[in-house]
Amino acid sequence: MAAAWLVHGFLLERMSRDFVESRLKDEVAFLEHQIRQSGGEIDALLTENYFHDDFYHSFAIQSPTQSIVFPHTLAALLSPLFQSEQQGAIRVRGASASNAPSDLLAFRKSFLVNNTRLVVIVSEDMAALQASQAEFHAWTAIVSILLILLLVGVIWLGITLSMKPIVSLQASLKKLQDGEISRISVHAPEEFRPLVKQLNQLLDFLDRRLERSRDALANLSHSVKTPIAAVRQILDDTSRPLGDDLRREMGSRLGDIDKQLEAEMRRSRFAGPQVGKSAYPVKQARELLWLLGRLYPEKSFELSTQLVEERRWPIEEQDLSEIIGNLLDNAGKWSSTCVELSLSEANEHMIIVVGDDGPGVEQDTVGELGKRGLRLDEQTPGHGLGLAIVCDIVDRYSGQTNFSHSHLGGLKVDVSFLRPN
């Protein structure tokens, strides 16, 4: 600001000086012209009214015979300039003559007319000019400051208005922190709606997770503590012989604990749909196919897909492993020679299909596959826990699991997820 102000002052000064200088030069030229026309007779000029009426600059003319200074008050200031050798513009400052301006700009020119040397000086009082210049300069400053204030005001107003939703969001967050509200209201402007939605989803997710882990712990402690108490009781009773029946009983109790633990651990290990989590289905499928190929070396595990290796699916990595791994493991147990895994995408759906060439499942029991609580493997080992786990995860992603007959002869499991927008 200060720099702009100084530059403005400097430019203003230079401009007015240049302007005055060029005018003085014109007038010197005019006087010279007049003098030349009158053949060097200065007195003739002075008699003309012109100078008194129209010539409003002070001037001085010197010939070898006489010198004229108009008006006379400036004689003390201008006379010394006759002796000066300098041609052109001369600044006269700090002269202390009474009734005379202290700051003058003069233009001096000497020339020959009929072999006599004449000197003409025209001058203007710069002080008066500078006063008005200063006034102009000051006004510029005042107007600029006013404009700046106005601009700041407008910017402040703009920022305040546009920050208003953030302030309300901030207030909501504060309320949320204090527990006054449980969700942020969705009356946010367009730009913040996804953020608010995301936050609310996160809160939902945390709530669900808390609820789930509480349920899991409650289930677990209920189903684990009792068998532990029973086994302990038997072990504490030193008088009771540890017969085969008792051993078997204790073994089955420990088995129950393990089953419960396993089920709950699996359940809490599933991530479910989460923002920012994705997996490479083809890469993972290849690893799992290879793994099962090693575990069942006499069977062939094949992949059929059009997806590229770099394709990502918005499913958490371990969840996807669990789905594909369990489907393949289940098919591997049942197949006689060959299991086929196919990964595809159609109409915004991500589709996993696993088929085997085993005996398959009877049409009337197909509907009961994968249902929690119903363990088909109690009658037929194989299609059981693994499929229940798959159904559980798929449910969490709001996907669908379908069981049907494979063209290979055995069971075919279709899993499909809708790709979230």
Partner 1 sequence: MRLLLVEDDRLLAEGLASQLEKAGFSVDTARTVREATLLGQQEDYRVGILDLGLPDGNGLDVLRKWRTNKASFPVLILTARGDWQDKVSGLKAGADDYLAKPFQTEELIARLNAIVRRSEGRVQSSVKAGRFELDENRQYLKMEDGTEHSLTGTEFRLLRCLMSHPHHVFSKEQLMEQLYNLNENPSDNIIEAYIGRLRKLVGVNTITTRRGQGYLFDDTV
Q: Where are the alpha helices (DSSP H) in 38-91?
A: 42-46, 49-53, 75-83
Q: How far apart are CA 386 and CA 380, in angstroms?
A: 13
Nearer to partner 1, 16 or 342 (CB): 342
Nearer to partner 1, 27 or 357 (CB): 357
Nearer to partner 1, 196 or 289 (CB): 289
CB of 217 to partner 1, least distance (A): 20
**Cβ distance 226 to 256 under 8 Å?**
no
Q: How far apart are CA 263 and CA 375, in angstroms?
A: 13
CB of 372 to partner 1, least distance (A): 20
Q: Which residues bind partner 1 (CB under 8 A)?
A: 254, 258, 269, 286-291, 293-295, 297, 299-304, 309, 317-318, 321-322, 324-325, 337-338, 340, 357, 407-408
CB of 321 to partner 1, least distance (A): 4
Q: Give burial (CB, 10 Å; 0-12/13-18/19+) of 7.
A: exposed
Nearer to partner 1, 122 or 328 (CB): 328
- HSE-up (13 A, CA, CB side) for residue 112: 3
Q: How far apart are CA 135 and CA 155, in angstroms?
A: 30
Q: Output the CA–CA distances (angstroms, integers) from residue 71 to 56, 88, 123, 179, 312, in the order listed.
A: 10, 21, 11, 91, 96
Nearer to partner 1, 120 or 389 (CB): 389
CB of 172 to partner 1, least distance (A): 39
CB of 393 to partner 1, least distance (A): 12
Nearer to partner 1, 27 or 356 (CB): 356
Residue 340 neighbours by CB under 8 Å, 6+ apart: 302, 303, 304, 353, 354, 355, 356, 406, 408
Nearer to partner 1, 58 or 330 (CB): 330
For 190, phi then psi, to 5°, come to -45, -45
Q: How far apart are CA 410 and CA 299, in angstroms?
A: 14
CB of 283 to partner 1, least distance (A): 10
Query: Would you give the end-to-end CA distance of the chain in angstroms?
Result: 52
The DSSP code for 72 is: G
CB of 255 to partner 1, least distance (A): 8
